[in-house]
Amino acid sequence: MRMIINFRRIKNTQKHIETMGYNRRNMIEKAKAVQALYKEHVGRNGSTAEWTYKNVIYPRFYISRSTFYNYLVIDVEAALKQLDKE
């Protein structure tokens, strides 16, 4: 199964992250936790991103599939540095 990346959506997601309100740091921290779990579980014993979402991410965070994929493309380190700078 090949993962298709919609770069237009990634660009819109990055723009959305930059314009969020008071809870931007919490959302970025949540994205960081999702990315860590994803990296830990994907590829192990042939598990896919879909399996990881259904069995690991969703039961813990209760986020939609599209939110899951949006969280995967966020550059959390750069976003946190930008928040610290502000």
> Any idea where the domains of the chain sit in the sequence?
7-14+23-85
Cβ-based neighbour number of residue 31 at 10 Å: 22
What confidence tier does 85 reach under pLDDT thresholds 50, 70, 90?
confident
pTM of this prediction? 0.71
Tens-place pLDDT, residues 27-57: 999 999 999 999 998 878 788 899 999 999 9
Look at residue 70 and tell me whether its pLDDT is greater than 90: yes
- Mean pLDDT over 75-84 rounds to 90
Q: What mean pLDDT do residues 53-70 have?
A: 93
Residue-level pLDDT at 83: 86
| Whether 68 contacts 54, CB under 8 Å | no
Calculate ∠ Cα 71-61-28, nearest 5°. 35
Asked whether the beta carbons of 30 and 71 are under 8 A apart, the reply is yes
CA 1 to chain centroid: 20
